[in-house]
Amino acid sequence: MPKKRIVILPKTKNVLSEMGEQIKLARLRRQLSSEQVAERANISRPTLTSIEKGAPTVSIGSYIVVLQVLGLEKDFLLLAKDDELGRKLQDARIHTGERAPKRRDQ
C-alpha cells in the first residue's frame, strides 16, 4: 500500500521556517556551534540544519530535543495555549439550560 503524502500549506511552511530561524538564533545567542548542539541532542548536523531551516520532514521529537539542549523546552508548552478560535467555538456551543430541581426524599 502506498504511503500517504502529507500536504503542507505555504502558510504552515512559513511558520516552520520562522520557528527554525528562531531556533538558530537561540543557538547563536548561546554561542554554541551546530556541532555542539547536534552532539548534545544526539542528532546529526544535517538534521540540525534541517531543523534550523524549518523542515517538515524532521520529527517533532528532534525539534524538542534541540529546544531542550538550548534550555527552551518549556516554550513548547506554549503551543496552542491561547486557542482563541477554539475557545470561541466552544463558547458558541455552550448550552446553559436550567437545572432540574433537586429531588427531596421524604
The domain spans of the chain are: 10-78
Has residue 21 got a pLDDT over 90? yes
Q: What is the pLDDT of residue 55?
A: 94
Q: How far apart are CA 32 and CA 28, in angstroms?
A: 6
Has residue 38 got a pLDDT over 90? yes
Has residue 96 got a pLDDT over 70? no
Has residue 89 got a pLDDT over 70? yes
Q: How far apart are CA 28 and CA 36, in angstroms?
A: 11
- Rounded to two decimals, the pTM is 0.76
Instruction: Kindly indicate whether the domain formed by 10-78 is annotated with CATH number 3.30.2320.20.
Output: no
